[in-house]
A and B are shown apart, each in its own frame.
Chain A
Amino acid sequence: MTKQLQQPGRQKSFWERNRRSQGYLLKMETRRIGYRVLRFFLLFAICFLILHPILDKFSVSVMEERDLYDSSITIFPRHLTWENYEITAQQIYYGKALFNTAWICLLVSVLQVAACTLVGYGFARFEFRLKKLWFAAVVLIIIVPPQTISTSLYLHFRYFDLFGLIPLFNAGETVNLRGSSLPYYLMSMTCMGLKNGLYIFMLRQFFSGVPQSLEEAAYVDGCSVFRTFYQVLLPEAFPVIVSCLLFSFVWQWTDTFYSRLFLGGNTLLSMQISGIADRIGNYFATQLKIATTLGRRQQFVSTATLMTIAPLLVIYLFAQRSFVESISTSGMKM
């Protein structure tokens, strides 16, 4: 029945319907299409703006040297080569650096997220004295720029004494923890790593949203507090934990601040690429006896940067949902 009723209306031409609505339909249709076109161009422009540096670096990195100086070439290289990648890989010890970076980032992010999960749960579910104060402390670790304390952290670990305890056992000597990565692991275990306040916040937010009855049921069945935590709540929080891990991993990967301060002894990608330009210059000068131009050296910087972020792009490609949705599900609200 309804089909038959609707059918005649649909067959009428656009202009017929427009006439009946006294031009209103045309106006609305124009506005709708105009808006769509505008939206398309806006989004396209912004996407281009974001992707442009990456595409640009890529095109530079596959060029041969002569293409660099050819002003008629802006985007598409005329002579393709993978040589730049080979030289860069050799110069930044890519295999070793990649392995080190992956391993350290994984370790650090697991430590950080494990600690933050515990703390987040503690804040979400328990009532204790001075809770407000400690939570204010979490906010404080978010807003203290690490640079403010970097001076004293630096000296702190150079002459490490743990509130003056260590000299008591060590014949009055302080310990030099500079250059070893131990301090950073310790900091990661105690939620003081890169952006850890944010993870505590996200996890707390998530745990607050889990219905309390879940734990109560476990308690009634005789579960201890810790067992309830890891058998009932951890599986529940798995998606959020994974996305915190991803964030932590990815941010650690590109971090230079903490890496320079604590992890300088390891061959890390983020550290390797900061000196790549000079190193390439040296390599060409001493090994191949060729002087390099700035543009040429910059080409290697682009290549190295791409090689550094390539693994991240792959991770992002597969785990995109997890990244984006974590922020939505944990509902960042104050």
Chain B
Amino acid sequence: MTGIEISAKPRRGRLTIRARREIYGYLFIAPFIIGFLVFLIQPLIDSLWMSLCDVQIDAQGIHPLYWGLTNYNKAFNIDPDFRRMMTEEVGRMVTHTLAILVVSLVIAIILNQEFKGRAFVRAVFFLPVILSSGVLVGLENNNSLMNSIQNMVQSNASIHLSDSMVEILRLSGIGTEAMDIVESLINEVQSIVMSSGIQIIVFLTGLQAIPRSLYEAADVEGCTKWESFWKITFPVISPLLIVNIIYTIIDFFMKTDNQIMDKISTTMVVKMDYGFASAMAWVYFLIVIALIGVSSLIVSKGVVRSYD
């Protein structure tokens, strides 16, 4: 503009700033690229290949022999458990995710209010994130023997309130399928609460970003609390729904108390059937990805609409 032309051409042998920034960028993410290629892509391709093979292992190494889709066929048509487990886990995942979303949203709304001991409650709610990742979950569930003993002791010691409630509801003829879902949710209240730590915090962050004045204005205009929830709170935090849904689904599928995970690792470690284990792992992985894709698509459609 001022008449002084800054030449965009670099001197010979020197790179433009852009190009240099690009190199720096690659330098910074280099660890990730190396790790990604060596420790993720290569094993991923390996396992895809093995899932198409009959894998023999001896002292010399692994000898995969290509035999097409036999392993997949085995998983879907021959193995007695796999299909059943898959549908069960996916069904459990859906109810679980919905329950976690609702529970964590409700808790986040409560924690966003002022009351005594809020810091303590928040700390307690976040505690499971620290504790429930590896050992504890495994230990609680691996002890099936212990569980049966506990059940025996408990049933002798006290009358089960929940059982009798279930009985009463059954007799009064409420639809059994809906009942089953509700019942399983009640049984899993603990695991739901235990796995909603991060989600609560994420929602809480979203809620804290909403200015109080919005609610005050709505109040003055005569909005009920219920209405202002759907008109103010929900649209603002709905982008966070996607984050939470994805997080919940991943978290659910990675848990060690998952039947399929269990089956895959026994097939691999105990039966040494690497091909079949890889095939099951791949089916499982693709289903997880598909579920995440579908659910985030549905929700993102909903999010866009709620902003209109």
Which residues from A are CB-within-8-Å of B143?
A: 298, 301
Q: Does B233 reach chain A (CB closer than 8 Å)?
A: no
> Which partner residue on chain A sits nearest B57 by CB separation?
A155
Interchain nearest-CB distance for B107 vs A (Å): 7
Q: How far is the CA of A62 from the CA of B157 in the complex (A)?
A: 21
Interchain nearest-CB distance for B241 vs A (Å): 11
* Residue from B27, B31, B153, B289 within 8 A of A115 (CB atoms): B31
Which residues from A are CB-within-8-Å of B124?
A: 47, 50-51
- Among A166-199, those with CB < 8 Å from B are 174, 186-187, 189-192
Contact A163 B42 (CB under 8 A): yes
Q: Which of B8-16, B70-78, B90-98, B261-269 is the interface stretch?
A: B261-269
Which residues from B are CB-within-8-Å of A79?
A: none
Contact B135 A254 (CB under 8 A): yes
Contact B46 A156 (CB under 8 A): yes
Contact B46 A152 (CB under 8 A): yes
Which residues from A are CB-within-8-Å of B121?
A: 43, 47
Interchain nearest-CB distance for B94 vs A (Å): 17
Q: How far is the CA of A152 from the CA of B57 in the complex (A)?
A: 13
How many of A's residues come within 8 Å of B, CB to CB?
84
Q: Does B82 reach chain A (CB closer than 8 Å)?
A: no
Interchain nearest-CB distance for A175 vs B (Å): 12
Contact B31 A50 (CB under 8 A): no
Contact A134 B33 (CB under 8 A): yes
Contact B205 A151 (CB under 8 A): no
Contact A126 B125 (CB under 8 A): no
Interchain nearest-CB distance for B253 vs A (Å): 6
Which residues from A are CB-within-8-Å of B222?
A: none
Q: Does A102 reach chain B (CB closer than 8 Å)?
A: no
Chain A interface mostly: helix
Which residues from A are CB-within-8-Å of B38?
A: 162-163, 190
A residues with CB within 8 A of B: 36, 39, 42-43, 46-47, 49-51, 53, 71, 74, 115, 118-119, 121-123, 125-129, 131, 134, 137-138, 140-156, 159, 162-163, 174, 186-187, 189-192, 200, 225, 250-251, 254-257, 259, 270, 273-274, 294-295, 298, 301, 305, 308-309, 312, 316, 320, 323-324, 327-328, 331-334
The 9 residue pairs across chains A and B that have the minimum distance between CB atoms: A190-B35, A122-B28, A126-B25, A152-B46, A128-B25, A152-B43, A254-B134, A122-B29, A149-B43
B residues with CB within 8 A of A: 18, 21-22, 24-29, 31-36, 38-40, 42-44, 46-47, 50, 61-62, 107, 110, 113, 115, 121-131, 133-136, 138-140, 143, 145-146, 149, 153, 156-157, 189-190, 193-194, 198, 201-202, 204-205, 208, 239-240, 242-243, 246, 250, 253-254, 256, 261, 264-265, 268, 274, 277-278, 281-282, 284-285, 288-289, 292
